[in-house]
Amino acid sequence: MTCLRVKEEFESQITPRHVNGGCPYDVSKEKGVEKRGRVPKCSKKKIFFHDQENTYEIVEIKPHINNAGIALFHLLHEATAEDMMEMYKTNAIGPMLVTKAFFPLLKKAAQESPNEVKSCSRAAVINISSGAGSIERIPLEFSVQPLFEYRCSKAALNMLTRCQAEAYKTDGIIAVAVAPGWVQTDMGGPKAHLKLHESVGGMMNMFDTLTEKHNGVFLNWRGQTLPW
């Protein structure tokens, strides 16, 4: 979902149609999620998520941005099945389930503008991926930053994006994978190349340019195409 930290820090720079809110979603408890009340309740163009303590409201969802992500730093021989599953749950399965929950409202948004060109402002799924998910770039980067669990999960997210692009295109929804760059966040650390406002500002400008021709593509924060 949209990163609340980004929303708070850059609210003055980002228009409401882009950043609408955020919600918790525990993918490890999907089977029991309906009993626990953590499923979205939809009314027109509003979504409410409930947990035991709070109510979270999502008001416009065009585009819908999946921005959750975690990283582990292990050597290949140190990793466990549990490590891999944790990465996939957050970085690939989570975006799949959250988008699935929001799909009815995305479809509704697209149907409300049938004559408008398919674009980010009409209805779109934007999965925040990573250049580390590029299989083609592995020989150039692996020795510097192995991150193999993270790379595998982001490659899976990229494939999910391609599948969503094919599955949703008849409904007027585009799906795009975007790499924000190496950013100075809690995950990226202080040595990262980009400051938060540089990455976010670049992506927000780029989002405004996305149209049907970008459906199913992998872009960096500047809007340049990345190799799968």
Active site residues: 150, 154
Q: Cα separation of 101 and 154, whole Å?
A: 21
Residues 6+ apart with CB under 8 A from 121: 17, 62, 63, 208
Q: For 169-228, where are the alpha helices, taking DSSP H only?
A: 196-207
Q: Cα separation of 149 and 153, whole Å?
A: 6
Choose among 67, 68, 60, 66: nearest CA to 106. 60
- Residue whose token pair is 């955020």: 22
Q: Cα separation of 14 and 7, whole Å?
A: 8
Q: Do 130 and 155 form a contact (C-beta atoms < 8 A)?
A: no
Choose among 154, 138, 155: nearest CA to 146. 138
What are the residues facing 64 on neighbouring strands? Answer: 125
DSSP summary character for residue 108: H
